Amino acid sequence: KGPTDKHEFQAETRKLLDIVAKSLYSDKEVFIRELISNASDALERLRYLQLKGEIAGDEKTTLEIHIATDDVKKTFTIQDTGIGLTRNELIDNLGTIAKSGSKAFLEHLKEESAGDVGRTLIGQFGVGFYSTFMVGDTVEVYTRSYHANSPGLKWTSDGSGTYEVSEADGVQRGTKIVVHLKGDCYDFAKEDVISGVVKRYSNFVGVPIYLNGHRVNILQALWMTDPRDVTETMHEEFYRFIANAYDKPRYHFHYKTDAPLNIRALFYVPEYKPTLFDMSRETDSGLTLYSRRVMIMAKANNILPKWMRFIRGVVDSEDIPLNLSRELLQESALIRKLREVLTNRVLRFFADQAKKEPEKYMSFYDDYGLFFREGIVTTADQNQREAVAKLLRFESSKSSSGERISLDDYASRMKAGERNIYFLAAPSRHLAETSPYYEAFRKRDIEVLFLYEAYDELVLMNLAQYDRKNLRSIENELHDDKENTDTVDTSDLHSLSKEDAESLKDWLKGVLLNRVNNIKMTRRLESHPCVITVQEMGAARHFLRTTLADKS
Ligand code: ADP
Ligand code: MG
């Protein structure tokens, strides 16, 4: 047995240890997630070497993680059968944080406010292991590398200034880490506490995890598998598990990409109709964020826009560093990019579904279409607003009753030179068709969208433009109509004389007083004696501004 070497942590490492232990993580329990992730990495690397045939025959042990709690000794132990570490690797990887870059990192820390740390650099630094010092007085690492004739080694430190490395007997290939818990962290020596934490963060880790001899993670990370290998039944079970639901998903959307960043996402839309609770903007997101199967954040509110909160599912991205606190994660540029990519893909998914299975889409639209309207009025970016508007469906003067068309359908039928998409809000098709506003448009054979829900008028006015065309209420149109005239053609027997028209106008002015702005004569109307027009729905605009002002 060789001598015990005493080493000093590099000065930078010491300072970093302090930062990690005190402020990098918001929850102490994440040390478990970090250790499981390291164990899982070590096992994956061994699996890779096995595949390449670089591991000697007798080294082909099963790939597992074992966790043990000891409530008497107050220890937490985690053991893997992975690649293990050589003496040099112990010194390089556990003795030094971020070998080459720690100086630069610390300088960066000085320059930036603490809140900016995670945004740029931390993810690139190996600091996960040091989270054990948040909960441990002393940490022991027993390890033996997969390399032939590697000795068993023991690494110990109290996380202050120094660590020791010595040879040790009876060490299996792989790594065992024993954390001697601090007085205020004895909870982590309790099986039920650890069981909860492991399930929360590591339920889908690819290798089996045992806690005091019992298997903990039995679920398959469905989002990581090839979409072609996932059956309908598997989707149902998985959806029920992650959404805590009893119904089936009506849609599932499995999305994988490696550019511009690595994403594995699996989204579901429930079969059930949204409840008032689902509609509330207070409701949390139904998404969980993972990095390589390890949970980073439940109810991840920033991954999709607020209005997509009806979507349940998981998002996994290798590019998201594990060791970021919630606060730092919330606002990172990475999360913004992730949200942008996913939002566009989800919008495209619904547009595709509308084409592929229109009937199914319309039933989804009837149940969930209100979220789209919210999406339009709460989104700032006009391109994205129009991508949502693409999903809207309305009856029109040229559709049959019950049939609904898209804004694209409307645009495809527009006459050359026409720049406006016209709509009319009315409680029913009958009232729309007999409306005095519509009369002039029917005469000119111009298609008009019929909006039966009052809020749709607000939504389209708020949208203002679609595909470089103006969205116009025909109520406004009549108001602005250049052909309106104060002079009345007396050659028409049925029309009033100029004098009669003037005296009618005077009489109306006297009766209506300042309830109207102006009274005009028009020849547009045939079957209605008069019509009331508005310049703009001031009240409606005000309503939009005040109730939906919190853009997300
Ligand atoms: P990171 O995982 O980001 O690299 P960590 O601080 O978690 O940073 O770990 C530092 C390094 O220590 C790892 O990159 C790995 O080389 C080594 N290591 C940690 N845990 C294990 C383990 N269980 N088996 C083998 N190597 C490990
Ligand atoms: Mg790690």
User: For residue 99, which ligand has an atom nearest its CA?
Assistant: 1
Residue 370: the pLDDT is 95
pLDDT at 97 over 70: no
Instruction: Tell me how long the chain is.
Output: 552
pLDDT at 279 over 80: yes
Residue nearest to atom 1 of ligand 1 (CA): 126
Q: Ligand 1 center to residue 123 CA distance, Å?
A: 14
Report residue 407's pLDDT band, with 50, 70 and 90 as the boundaries: very high
d(CA 343, CA 515): 46
Atom of ligand 1 nearest to the CA of 78: 23
Q: Ligand 1 center to residue 178 CA distance, Å?
A: 15
Atom of ligand 1 nearest to the CA of 126: 8
DSSP letter at 528? -
Q: Ligand 2 center to residue 60 CA distance, Å?
A: 24
Residue 186: the pLDDT is 97
Residue 330: the pLDDT is 64
Q: Ligand 1 center to residue 31 CA distance, Å?
A: 13
Residue 482: the pLDDT is 54
Report residue 102's pLDDT band, with 50, 70 and 90 as the boundaries: very low
d(CA 501, CA 485): 12
User: For residue 97, which ligand has an atom nearest its CA?
Assistant: 1
Residue 479: the pLDDT is 58
85 vs 548, higher pLDDT: 85
Residue nearest to atom 4 of ligand 1 (CA): 126
Atom of ligand 1 nearest to the CA of 128: 7
Residue in 19, 31, 41 to alter for ligand 1 test, most ligand atoms within 8 A of Cβ: 41
pLDDT in tens, 376-394: 999 999 999 999 999 999 9
Q: Ligand 2 center to residue 527 CA distance, Å?
A: 77
443 vs 17, higher pLDDT: 443
Residue nearest to atom 3 of ligand 1 (CA): 126
Atom of ligand 1 nearest to the CA of 323: 3
pLDDT at 184 over 50: yes
Closest CA to 144 of 134, 154, 136, 135: 154
pLDDT at 516 over 60: yes
Residue nearest to atom 20 of ligand 1 (CA): 38
Interface ipTM: 0.99
- pTM of the predicted structure, to 2 decimals: 0.76
pLDDT at 502 over 60: yes
Mean per-residue pLDDT for 52-58? 68
Residue in 129, 132, 179 to alter for ligand 1 test, most ligand atoms within 8 A of Cβ: 129
> Do strands 469-473 and 420-425 pair parallel, antiparallel, or not at all (unpaired)?
parallel
Q: Ligand 1 center to residue 199 CA distance, Å?
A: 22
pLDDT in tens, 204-236: 988 999 999 999 998 889 999 999 999 999 999
Q: Ligand 1 center to residue 128 CA distance, Å?
A: 8
d(CA 523, CA 443): 12
Residue in 17, 20, 24, 38 to alter for ligand 1 test, most ligand atoms within 8 A of Cβ: 38
DSSP letter at 116? G
User: For residue 177, which ligand has an atom nearest its CA?
Assistant: 1
Of 130-144, 172-186, 189-203, 475-489, which range is least confident?
475-489
Those residues with Cβ within 8 angstroms of residue 463's Cβ, 6 or more apart along the chain or in another chain: 376, 385, 386, 389, 471
Binding-site residues, ligand 1, Cβ < 6 A: 34, 38-39, 42, 80, 82-85, 93-94, 126-129, 175
Residue 115: the pLDDT is 43
User: For residue 132, which ligand has an atom nearest its CA?
Assistant: 1
Atom of ligand 1 nearest to the CA of 89: 16
Q: Ligand 2 center to residue 332 CA distance, Å?
A: 20
Residue nearest to atom 12 of ligand 1 (CA): 93
Residue 57: the pLDDT is 56
CB 325 within 8 A of CB 26: yes
Q: What are the CA-CA distances from residue 513 to residues 406, 486, 505 (Å)? A: 42, 19, 11
**Tokens 């963060």 label which residue?**
201
Of 97-111, 358-372, 532-546, which range is least confident?
97-111
Q: Ligand 1 center to residue 85 CA distance, Å?
A: 9
Q: Ligand 2 center to residue 229 CA distance, Å?
A: 30
Sign of CA dihedral 116, 119, 123, 125: negative
Residue in 78, 93, 144 to alter for ligand 1 test, most ligand atoms within 8 A of Cβ: 93
Residue 328: the pLDDT is 62
Residue nearest to atom 11 of ligand 1 (CA): 93
pLDDT at 108 over 80: no
* Most confident by average pLDDT, 70-79, 240-249, 281-290, 513-522: 70-79
Residue 109: the pLDDT is 53
Mean per-residue pLDDT for 104-126? 45
pLDDT at 426 over 50: yes
pLDDT in tens, 34-49: 899 889 888 888 887 8
Residue 386: the pLDDT is 98
User: For residue 39, which ligand has an atom nearest its CA?
Assistant: 1
288 vs 481, higher pLDDT: 288
pLDDT at 80 over 50: yes
Of 294-298, 322-326, 452-456, 539-543, which range is least confident?
539-543
Residue nearest to atom 7 of ligand 1 (CA): 128
CB 274 within 8 A of CB 349: no
pLDDT at 487 over 60: no
pLDDT at 84 over 50: yes
Q: Ligand 2 center to residue 331 CA distance, Å?
A: 22
Report residue 110's pLDDT band, with 50, 70 and 90 as the boundaries: low
Atom of ligand 1 nearest to the CA of 37: 2
Q: What is the CA radius of gyration of the chain?
A: 33
Q: Ligand 1 center to residue 89 CA distance, Å?
A: 10
Residue nearest to atom 17 of ligand 1 (CA): 93
pLDDT at 195 over 90: yes
Of 56-60, 243-247, 349-353, which range is least confident?
56-60
Of 97-101, 175-179, 214-218, 440-444, which range is least confident?
97-101
Residue 490: the pLDDT is 45
What is the residue-averaged pLDDT of the chain?
A: 84
d(CA 84, CA 130): 17
364 vs 475, higher pLDDT: 364
Q: Ligand 1 center to residue 35 CA distance, Å?
A: 8
Q: Ligand 1 center to residue 71 CA distance, Å?
A: 26
User: For residue 94, which ligand has an atom nearest its CA?
Assistant: 1
d(CA 535, CA 515): 13
125 vs 86, higher pLDDT: 86
Residue nearest to atom 15 of ligand 1 (CA): 93
d(CA 523, CA 505): 15
- Coil, strand or helix at 450: strand
Report residue 409's pLDDT band, with 50, 70 and 90 as the boundaries: very high
pLDDT in tens, 4-18: 888 887 777 777 777
**Tokens 């919008």 label which residue?**
347
pLDDT at 155 over 60: yes
